[in-house]
Amino acid sequence: MKHTADEQKGTGNSVRSVPVRARRKLKVVAADFLNSLPLTIEVADDDYFDFEYVVPSEGARQLVEEEADIALLPVAALAEIGGLEVVPGPCIGANGRVDSVVIVSEVPLDRIERLYVDSASRTSVILARIFMESVGKGNIPFVRLGATEILNRVDGEAGGLLIADVAFQHSKRFKYRHDLGDAWKRLTGEPFVFAVWAAAPGVLNEEIVDRLNRRFWDGLARKHQIIEEWSAAHGMPVADVADYLDERIQFNLNRSAWNGLQEFFRIASNMRLLPDARVEFAQKPDRPAAQGMVPASFGRWTPEIVPYSRSYGVDRILARADGGRRISLHDAERLYEEADLTDLGEVAHSIRMKMNPGMRVSYIVAMNLNYTNVCNVDCSFCGFYRSHDPDRKGYDEGYTLNREQIRRKMNTLADADGAQVLFQGGVNPNLPIEYYIRTFAWFKKEWPQIHLNCLSVDEVLGLCPNKTPEEIAGVLSQLKEAGLDMLPGAGAEILVDRVRRRVSRKKSRAAYWLETMRQVGQLGMHASVTMLYGMRETTRDKFAHMAKIRQLQDEVSPFKVFISWPYRKAESLKLQATDQSGATYLRMQAISRIFFDNIRHIMCSWVTQGPEIGQAALWYGADDFGSVMFEENVVSASGVTYRMDSDAMEFYIRDAGFEPFRRTGEFEEWNRAEHDAVKARGQIVEFEPGRIY
């Protein structure tokens, strides 16, 4: 049914119509899953909305980055983001057996020792965690795989979490099936809610809530059409599809569903799986109080707006974070805007002491080896690079080190008992993958004691013309095989494309950066992760960046350490700098310690902040003082020229009240005997003079 923007239907309530010309259309996004179609099919046809079908993670991204106004949001994302409002009325839930979220295995539950899970549904994975915990199997590893791969891996003591179509079509072939909708009902006595319509505060009003509810009822009236079309398109029996929509899915966010949602948040928060969430109905000032916590009727639309995760006060957010609770993106924003730096420092330090016990601070002896400054990315905040294009200014100043030059630098590092080389440069289109393979193999043969922390994500992507996950995994595998140990986190900047497009038009989009790091994690490699703020991004952008990193870390754990620093404007650069103060740096770092409950180490950035703020940062959540620098060319290109040797680093660490220790690239304590033993195995590699590779 086609709807016009100014269409009204009588509901017995006074609904004001907003002329379409007077407002921007609201962007609404939702997944085109079978169970969501009754909610979305009529919204998609309504001219009042600018509607788009997207996968759930994309819907969450658009809502976070303020590209979408309303999203049909999985409830896990609702908790991770925080501070959103929920549309009362429709939901996607299950009051018992659901058939589309099922744990399967060939052995009884108590014999499952590993669970393969489909990372596409975070809410289902958390539900599976809760279920496994309830049957005494809370500690088994959850391994993320693609949906179809899970089917092939479920065997013996390995179970699998199947969702959506895969669950429908394949779960019956396994000996043991545990329907998580049913399990939840037996566990709590309440329905489970998978997704709800959600929006940022200020978006929803009575008219919009009413409209979404009416479109839902209109969509429900088309259920038979949906069943027939879905059945035909997916080759599923009509009876199964009908049974699913008629019997398995609960579409009303009624009182018991609401209770179920609250219970899910409570349990998930207690298990440290989701941020602490509080769910309650807003009390609109011009309306009589609702009865109790919820409106009297859920079945039809209600004028009450339901805010989700009405935020705690800043003090309570901090207290609960200190108690081990995860904070939401919205909580982090509030801490950034409102919290006292003193309080942030105290809680960040407390959390740091729990994650890295003892008053010890690590540092590493490493070298930044900037092998080339030739680059085709043209970041507006970078004073280091020179264009690969002969027609561009600065082309003549481009360099690529030859092997003698690199050997001299590596020997300098080796002579100082260096533990790691940070081999990074521009994205030089003249260097093929063979260059890196030969270079890393050479490094491992001649200096086996040195940990190879090499290539930013964009340098890796520069070797992947198609940038598919398979291609990225293939390139990383080759580099790993050659000797690459770890990826530096440089180039993350702010993982919000609106910001990335503005500061670096040609830089990889956020999804590619994240996909590369996902492959790093899946290959069992590690990386650091960074954040370059102060480029006129919003507070939301800063914490959207952090939220994406935290979610990826939940999935495949690639990150060893997080480091943030502000962009510094060199005279030659046009991009204006914001958030430059040392106080803001300490604030960002402290919040990062509080936010990243799944990244063990926080490194302070004395290279950009200077030793004074760098030292103070040790009391604001940092447990690592970074690296002694023999050479640094990128930050110094912006005019910042701080240097420190081992003596200086240890002096600053001790002066702040901590005990310094040297570490390896893997964040283990550096041991001279082990280092020397490995070093002794090094063999000089011969090559022709002047060769690049």
Taking CB under 8 A as the criterion, the residue among 59, 275, 295, 345 binding other proteins is 345
- Closest CB 83 distance from other proteins, rounded Å: 20
644 near other proteins (CB under 8 A): yes
Q: Applying CB under 8 A, which part among 120-128, 229-237, 444-452, 603-611 lies near other proteins?
A: 603-611
Hey, which residues does 367 pair with through a beta bridge?
A: 421
Q: What is the DSSP string of 220-267?
A: HHTHHHHHHHHHHHHT--HHHHHHIIIII-EEE--HHHHHHHHHHHHH
- Closest CB 585 distance from other proteins, rounded Å: 8
**Separation between Cα atoms, residue 502 and residue 578, nearest integer Å:** 15
Taking CB under 8 A as the criterion, the residue among 55, 239, 583, 685 binding other proteins is 583
C-beta of 220 vs 656, nearer to other proteins: 656
Query: What part of residues 271-300 is at the interface with other proteins (CB under 8 A)?
Result: none
Q: Is the CB of residue 320 less than 8 Å from the CB of residue 270?
A: no
- Closest CB 628 distance from other proteins, rounded Å: 12
Helix or strand or coil: residue 120?
coil
In terms of Cβ atoms closer than 10 Å to its own Cβ (0-12, 13-18, 19+), residue 343 is: middle
Helix or strand or coil: residue 533?
strand
C-beta of 468 vs 641, nearer to other proteins: 641
572 near other proteins (CB under 8 A): no
Structure tokens at 604: 């302070």
646 near other proteins (CB under 8 A): no
C-beta of 255 vs 643, nearer to other proteins: 643
Cα dist. 147→162, 312, 511, 521, 576 in Å? 7, 37, 20, 18, 45
Backbone φ and ψ for 290, nearest 5 degrees, come out as -70, 155
- Closest CB 580 distance from other proteins, rounded Å: 8
30 Cβ partners below 8 Å, 6+ apart? 36, 39, 40, 43, 51, 53, 54, 59, 71, 72
Cα dist. 416→189, 549, 582, 668 in Å? 65, 34, 32, 19
610 near other proteins (CB under 8 A): yes
C-beta of 525 vs 616, nearer to other proteins: 616
624 near other proteins (CB under 8 A): no
**Separation between Cα atoms, residue 628 and residue 595, nearest integer Å:** 27
Backbone φ and ψ for 549, nearest 5 degrees, come out as -65, -45
52 near other proteins (CB under 8 A): no
568 near other proteins (CB under 8 A): yes
Query: What part of residues 127-156 is at the interface with other proteins (CB under 8 A)?
Result: none
- Closest CB 315 distance from other proteins, rounded Å: 14
| DSSP H or E segment with residue 522 | helix 510-522
657 near other proteins (CB under 8 A): yes
355 near other proteins (CB under 8 A): no
Q: Which of 624, 620, 618 is nearest to 589 (CA)?
A: 620
Sign for the CA dihedral angle at 379, 385, 388, 392 comes to positive
588 near other proteins (CB under 8 A): no
Q: Is the CB of residue 138 less than 8 Å from the CB of residue 115?
A: no
Q: Is the CB of residue 169 less than 8 Å from the CB of residue 149?
A: no
Give how far the C-alpha of residue 18 lies from the chain's centroid of Cα atoms, to the nearest Å: 37
C-beta of 74 vs 611, nearer to other proteins: 611
Taking CB under 8 A as the criterion, the residue among 142, 435, 642, 667 binding other proteins is 642
Taking CB under 8 A as the criterion, the residue among 45, 207, 346, 417 binding other proteins is 346
Hey, which residues does 114 pair with through a beta bridge?
A: 158
360 near other proteins (CB under 8 A): no
Q: Which x/- pattern, by CB under 8 A, does the window 303-342 give for other proteins?
A: -------------------------------------xxx
Q: Applying CB under 8 A, which part among 12-20, 257-265, 632-640, 682-690 lies near other proteins?
A: 632-640
586 near other proteins (CB under 8 A): yes
C-beta of 462 vs 614, nearer to other proteins: 614
**Separation between Cα atoms, residue 61 and residue 81, nearest integer Å:** 10
Query: What part of residues 534-563 is at the interface with other proteins (CB under 8 A)?
Result: none
641 near other proteins (CB under 8 A): yes
Cα dist. 104→153, 188, 311, 641, 650 in Å? 11, 21, 38, 58, 54
246 near other proteins (CB under 8 A): no
Q: What is the DSSP string of 66-95?
A: TS-SEEEEEHHHHHHH-S-EEEEEEEEEES
612 near other proteins (CB under 8 A): yes
61 near other proteins (CB under 8 A): no
616 near other proteins (CB under 8 A): yes
C-beta of 158 vs 635, nearer to other proteins: 635
Taking CB under 8 A as the criterion, the residue among 211, 349, 500, 550 binding other proteins is 349
**Separation between Cα atoms, residue 176 and residue 154, nearest integer Å:** 11
C-beta of 145 vs 570, nearer to other proteins: 570
C-beta of 187 vs 577, nearer to other proteins: 577
C-beta of 203 vs 640, nearer to other proteins: 640
* Interacting residues toward other proteins by CB under 8 A: 340-342, 345-346, 349, 568, 579-586, 609-616, 619, 638-644, 648, 651-652, 655-657
